[in-house]
Each structure stands twice: as structure tokens, then as C-alpha cells.
Amino acid sequence: MTLAWFLKINASNNQIHKKMKKSRTLILLLTGIVLTAGVYSCKGKKEAKAPDGEVLVNTYCSGPEYFSNKDYFRANAIGESLDQMTSKKKALNNAKAELAGAINTTIKATIDNYVNSRELNNKEEVEERFEGLTREIVNQKLNGVKTICEKQTKTSEGKYKTYLAIELSGSDLATEINEGLSKDERLKIDYDYEKFKETFDAEMSKLENN
């Protein structure tokens, strides 16, 4: 082995070590940047505050998972009273009232669109008959709503607060309406369930985007 060849090999090894060192340095630098960005991102989220003079309020049984969608009508409400059971009754009544409003709006739109799409002799009379029957069915179904969330708290004033969310299946409601309308002598001649269900489903799908 000559001295020149040895020096050449040594120089080559030094270059390789320098490249590896630069690569390690670059990797560490990039890692540090990513970690720093993550820390600031998390810090930014944690430091999110309500505007001055306001306090952030987290309400139980509330949020996207309790919104109405194409499958279910949903509503949530709060009831407050010195009596625990009364606070629950108030919350349930308030939630049912809200749910009934949403259902009636959807049913009204369904009936309007259905009647207008049909060749009927007296549309106004048919529409009124539809609305009367469906209103009775909706009122009956409200007695069987399902509670999907319930929380109770006690305030510093000694009052009970009940947070409640309820739901009603759109499919079950459509079935009940179909049974009621099919039995009506004045409607069943012109009544087309498939068309009515199609119109109802279209209105239910609109709830998904609200």
C-alpha cells in the first residue's frame, strides 16, 4: 500500500463522514421544525379563549350528534326547577315542542310537494285532509320519542337543571302516516305511498344540510 493511495482512501472516507454528518444535521433540523410547529399548533388550540367579557358555555346534550338528519328528527332542551322531576318534565316538554315544530315543517313541505305533483280533482280539500290526519299521527308518535341524552345539574341557587335530547325515527313516522292515510276512505283512492315516501325522504334529506 503506497502513501498516495492511503491518503486518497482517507480523503474519501472524510468526505463520506462529512456527508453523513450533514445528513444527520439536516434530519435533526427538519425534526425540530416539525416538533416546534406541532407545539405551537397545540398551544394555539389550548389558548383559544372567549372574547373579553364573555364566558364559554358548554351545554350538555347539544352538538352535531344531536342534530336532525335524513334518518331521525332530533331536538334538545333545558328545564329548570326547584323540584328535580319538574325540571325533567320541563326539559322533555320543551324538547317535544321543538321536535314537533321540526316534524310539522317537514310534513307540511312533503304534503305540499306531493299534492302538487298529483293529478287530483280538489287539491285544497285533499291537502287539508292530509294535514289533519298527519297532525294526529305526529301527536301520537311524540308520546313515544326516544331520549338519547340526559344530564342533570344543581345550581348554586339550589335549582335543578335537566339537559335533554330526544329523537324520533323518520322511517317509523312514515310507516305510521302510511297506515293512517291508507285507511282513510276519502284519500286512499288517490293515495300513492311510494310517491309520498319518495317526497318525504327528499324533505328528510334536507335536514342533513341544515
Query: Which range, of 8-12, 26-30, 102-106, 115-119, averages the lowest pLDDT?
Result: 8-12
Residues 190 and 115 in one domain: yes
105 pLDDT higher than 50: yes
- CA 56/CA 49 separation, integer angstroms: 8
**Judging by DSSP bridges, how do beta strands 72-81 and 146-154 pair with one another?**
unpaired
Query: Which range, of 33-42, 51-60, 199-208, averages the lowest pLDDT?
Result: 33-42
Is residue 152 in some structural domain?
A: yes
Residues 121 and 154 in one domain: yes
Residues in CB range of 163: below 8 A, 6 or more apart:
59, 60, 61, 62, 76, 78, 91, 149, 150, 151, 152, 153
pLDDT tens-digit series, residues 45-93: 455 576 877 887 778 999 999 999 999 999 999 999 999 999 999 999 9
Domains: count for the chain? 2
Is residue 54 in some structural domain?
A: no
Q: C-alpha grid cell for residue 154?
A: 344543581
pLDDT tens-digit series, residues 141-187: 998 899 999 999 999 999 999 999 999 999 999 999 988 888 887 77
Sign of CA dihedral 143, 78, 169, 70: positive
- CA 175/CA 170 separation, integer angstroms: 9
pLDDT confidence of residue 5: 44
Residues 171 and 89 in one domain: yes
Residues 94 and 198 in one domain: yes
Residues 133 and 41 in one domain: no
Residue range 24-39: mean pLDDT, rounded? 54
Residues 41 and 96 in one domain: no
Q: At what angle do helices 193-208 and 84-116 cross, to 10 degrees?
A: 120
Residues 69 and 38 in one domain: no
Q: Domain limits at 41? A: 1-48
